[in-house]
Amino acid sequence: MVVLSLASALVTFLVLTGLTPISPTHNVVVTVLLANAGLVLILLAVVAWEVFNVIRAQRRGRAGARLHGRIVLLFAIVATVPAILVAVIASITLDRGLDRWFSQRTRAIIGNALTVAETYVREHGLGIRQDLVAMASDLSRMKEIYENDRPRFRQILTAQAQFRGVPSAVLIRGDLTVIEKADINVGREFLIPQNIVVKEATAQQPIVYVPPSSDYVAAIIPLIGYEDTYLFIARPIDARVIQYLRQTEANLLEYRGLEQRRFGVQIAFALMYAVIAMILLLSSIWIGLNFANRLVAPIRRLITAADLVASGNLYVQVPVRQSEGDLANLGDSFNKMTSELRAQNSDLVRARDQIDERRRFSEAVLAGVGAGVIGLNAVGKITILNRSAERLLGVTEGDMIGKAAVDAVPEIGALVREAFADNYRVNGTVTMSRGGRERTFNVRVTTEQADESEHGYVITLDDITELVTAQRSSAWADIARRIAHEIKNPLTPIQLSAERLKRKYGKTILQDREVFEQCTETIIRQVGDIGRMVDEFSSFARMPKPVVETQDLAETIRQAVFLQRVGHQNIKFDTDLPGGVMNARFDRRLISQALTNILKNAAEAIEALPQEERNNGRILVRVSRESHMIAIDVIDNGPGLPKENRERLLEPYVTTREKGTGLGLAIVGKIFEEHGGHIELNDAPRDFANGRGAWIRLTLANGKDAAENAEENNKQDAVS
């Protein structure tokens, strides 16, 4: 289509310039114009489709689309700007040229040429008219000679014609019939035009004319006194003047026609130029698009291949076409680069696999170790962390790698600094608070004896919290048994003796009787208090074994809350329990005892507040299931738990109340441990009383885990 359009534009140019046998008539010009317009529309559609493809590629983010668009835009500008400039210049030139052709001076020159020629002919006409009138006057006086002596009249006519330089003098009638003529032989004959109405000539207005295709001037006048007789004379003029006159008239007609068609000529030339210019312009744009496609194609392949390499595909090979020149060399270099990268990547993968294999072996060894292991480099930054260490510290390896050990785990900072200072093994025991619970760890810091560049340290963490707790509980249980044994025996005789003294001497003692009764009642009351304390010691030392059965835990909680609500009516007790029956396996008596103890502690803590705060006392009890555990939360808005040494409240004989024995929480903790759970001491959540108060969480195993845990505890106690 492009070749056909260019050929059509060339043919149009040749036809318009008259270089072909085809004459540039109106029909030919219109036909050529329509044909070129059709080709322009087709070319426009082709170019529009190519441009649409470029825009679509840009919107889809195709590789090299922006470069493609820029190249196409550059070619369009290069093709369009010169065409527009040439169009403007051609339009101005054509207009200026036509202005010169149709200027006033040109019109005056052409008009003056015609005027000169007409004046020349008019002068001849005036001269022959004067001669005609004079001859007619002379001949009118010679009518008698005309009628009587024709030969003499002919001689006179001939003499008149010769005298006046008229080569042809003829007497004719109204029907152009020749009556008489002068006898003059000039070698040619002056014909009387048949289209002249002779009778229209008068003596005052003779007929003077120049025949269209003749080189002479003729005149006709009637002879006075003659019947139907007219004098016709003719005189030749310069043939070149007549020729010039005819050419001037023709040129003037053509010039006036051109002047009338001036706007049409301008439109025709403008349309032809526009059509040819559009053909050339669109062809140039299409050639530019083709060139851009061929230029961008290898670049696009390289960009696509580079994206694939960036995504990890090193097996990409760019097709290379030698006809693409330097871009083909670039493709060869890219293929060599990918081959080198592929080889280097294979080496790196093999090295990585070896390192991963060693790492997996090390991790397998470390994962099988129950103790937490932390690896440090020579500057004390963490390089490795096994799963046990993550679990014990409540962190993830990704968060700890690269951090300084003394900053990440400040509790072991002193031991680490000591190890770095002495460059030797260091042991110690530290207490850490993780997840709201205090844990006791046995920490060992050792160093590996290697080169300075590979020098590092290993920290081992052993969780001995349960061991310490068990040792303390065992020690306190032994102390409790001894105290109960040593104190309980003399309590009964003391109480009996005090009661006997009161009965025997209560009525006989008259002096200071009130003092006597007060002292004996004090002895009996204090002995009772000591007895109850001894009973608590006995209960802690010999905790009854739980009898686990499937029961409704929600009902047990409701009963415990009801008893406390009756005993503390100024405190609001709320419950958040699941609807229906909540079956679980537990010892109803022990769980009720533990819940009563916790609720009682919460109520007493609220009652210890000032009067204005005590009236708004509130305790919330809620139950939730978490995996295979059941959590019982007791939240109050009392003064809360101490921040320091909070976990020690779970140890025997540690209390914050003046009259407390310190065995309540210890007994509760032991009860829930024997049910496969534990006790947590937390601050009240933010959505409850703005975070003021205490939050005690009691957990016990759900389902058969509780029975298995109770059975395991029984076996351990039996072994003990």
List the one residue out of 555, 559, 572 whose CA is nearest residue 620: 572
Kind and range of the H or E run holding 463: strand 457-463
- Four-CA torsion 686, 690, 696, 702, nearest 10 degrees: -40
- Four-CA torsion 17, 19, 25, 26, nearest 10 degrees: -40
Residues 186 and 266 grouped into a single domain: no
Q: For residue 348, is pLDDT > 60?
A: yes
Binned at pLDDT 50, 70 and 90, residue 12 comes out as confident
Query: Higher model confidence: residue 507 or residue 588?
Result: 588
The CB-side HSE value for 47 (13 A sphere, CA atoms) comes to: 22
Output the CA torsion sign for 547, 550, 553, 557.
negative
- Mean pLDDT value across residues 626-631: 84
> Domain total for the chain?
5
- Looking at 505, 521, 541, the residue that finishes a domain is 541
Query: Looking at 392-396, 406-410, 486-490, 625-629, which range is the least confident one?
Result: 486-490
- Mean pLDDT value across residues 76-85: 73
- Looking at 541, 560, 585, the residue that finishes a domain is 541
Residue 633 near residue 695, CB atoms below 8 Å: yes
Residues 158 and 293 grouped into a single domain: no
Instruction: Quote the strand ranges of 194-339, DSSP E.
Output: 207-209, 216-222, 230-236
- Mean pLDDT value across residues 550-571: 88
Token representation of residue 539:
């209960």
Query: For residue 622, what pLDDT is reported?
Result: 92
List the one residue out of 313, 266, 246 whose CA is nearest residue 91: 266
Q: Which letter does DSSP use for residue 675 in this model?
A: T
Query: Higher model confidence: residue 298 or residue 642?
Result: 642
User: What CATH number has the domain bearing residue 389?
Assistant: 3.30.450.20
List the one residue out of 267, 258, 276 whose CA is nearest residue 94: 267
Q: For residue 620, is pLDDT > 90?
A: yes
Binned at pLDDT 50, 70 and 90, residue 98 comes out as low
Q: For residue 362, is pLDDT > 80?
A: no
Query: For residue 710, what pLDDT is reported?
Result: 46
- Four-CA torsion 94, 99, 101, 106, nearest 10 degrees: -170
- Mean pLDDT value across residues 590-609: 88
Q: For residue 158, is pLDDT > 80?
A: yes
- Mean pLDDT value across residues 247-272: 64
Tell me the β-bridge partners of 217. Answer: 235
The CB-side HSE value for 132 (13 A sphere, CA atoms) comes to: 31
Residues 531 and 560 grouped into a single domain: no
Please count the other Cβ atoms lying within 10 Å of the Cβ belonging to residue 690: 10
List the one residue out of 233, 228, 234, 232 whose CA is nearest residue 175: 228
Report the Cα 123 to chain-centroid distance in Å. 93
Query: For residue 706, what pLDDT is reported?
Result: 45
Residues 387 and 449 grouped into a single domain: yes
Residues 482 and 435 grouped into a single domain: no
Report the Cα 371 to chain-centroid distance in Å. 50
Chain segment 476-522, per-residue pLDDT in tens = 666 666 666 566 667 777 878 877 777 777 777 767 777 777 888 88
Query: Looking at 180-184, 214-218, 244-248, 522-526, which range is the least confident one?
Result: 244-248
Asked whether residue 158 is domain-assigned, the answer is yes
Q: How many helices (H) and strands (E) does the chain have?
A: 20, 17
Query: Higher model confidence: residue 89 or residue 213?
Result: 89
- Mean of pLDDT over the chain: 76
Residue 393 near residue 406, CB atoms below 8 Å: no
CA dist list (Å): 8 to 14, 265, 273, 274, 464: 10, 21, 13, 14, 100
Asked whether residue 357 is domain-assigned, the answer is no
List the one residue out of 95, 91, 6 whose CA is nearest residue 43: 6
Binned at pLDDT 50, 70 and 90, residue 635 comes out as very high
List the one residue out of 449, 459, 675 whose CA is nearest residue 548: 675
User: What CATH number has the domain bearing residue 671?
Assistant: 3.30.565.10
- Max mean pLDDT among 189-203, 360-374, 375-389 falls in 375-389
Query: Higher model confidence: residue 171 or residue 580?
Result: 171
Query: For residue 636, what pLDDT is reported?
Result: 92
- Max mean pLDDT among 95-104, 233-242, 474-483, 672-681 falls in 672-681
Binned at pLDDT 50, 70 and 90, residue 106 comes out as low
Residues 667 and 714 grouped into a single domain: yes
Q: 645-672 burial string, b = 16+ CB within 10 Å, else e?
A: ebbebbbbeebeeeeebbbbbbbbbbbb
Report the Cα 590 to chain-centroid distance in Å. 65
Tokens 């294999």 sit at which residue? 357
Residue 456 near residue 432, CB atoms below 8 Å: no
Asked whether residue 125 is domain-assigned, the answer is no
Residues 553 and 526 grouped into a single domain: no
User: What CATH number has the domain bearing residue 166?
Assistant: 3.30.450
Residues 569 and 678 grouped into a single domain: yes
DSSP conformation letters of 552-599: EHHHHHHHHHHHHHHH-TTSEEEEE--SS--EEEE-HHHHHHHHHHHH
Asked whether residue 120 is domain-assigned, the answer is no
CA dist list (Å): 27 to 14, 23, 70, 272, 719: 16, 10, 43, 14, 125
Percentage of residues in the chain having pLDDT higher than 70: 71
Query: For residue 478, what pLDDT is reported?
Result: 64
Asked whether residue 594 is domain-assigned, the answer is yes
Token representation of residue 120:
């020349």
Separation of alpha carbons 224 and 142, rounded Å: 11
Domain boundaries, position 487:
470-541
Asked whether residue 445 is domain-assigned, the answer is yes
Residues 159 and 219 grouped into a single domain: yes
Q: For residue 451, is pLDDT > 60?
A: no
Residues 602 and 696 grouped into a single domain: yes
Query: Looking at 150-159, 248-257, 404-413, which range is the least confident one?
Result: 248-257
- Looking at 403, 431, 463, the residue that finishes a domain is 463
Report the SS3 class of residue 385. strand
Asked whether residue 112 is domain-assigned, the answer is no
The CB-side HSE value for 487 (13 A sphere, CA atoms) comes to: 19
Instruction: Quote the strand ranges of 504-615, DSSP E.
Output: 549-552, 572-576, 583-586
Query: Looking at 76-85, 165-174, 552-561, which range is the least confident one?
Result: 76-85
Residues 442 and 480 grouped into a single domain: no
Residues 661 and 557 grouped into a single domain: yes
Strand bridging mode 583-586 / 549-552: antiparallel
Query: For residue 200, what pLDDT is reported?
Result: 80
Asked whether residue 293 is domain-assigned, the answer is yes
Strand bridging mode 168-172 / 230-236: antiparallel
Separation of alpha carbons 410 and 522, rounded Å: 54
Binned at pLDDT 50, 70 and 90, residue 267 comes out as low
Q: For residue 705, is pLDDT > 90?
A: no
Query: For residue 382, what pLDDT is reported?
Result: 86
Query: Higher model confidence: residue 627 or residue 42?
Result: 42
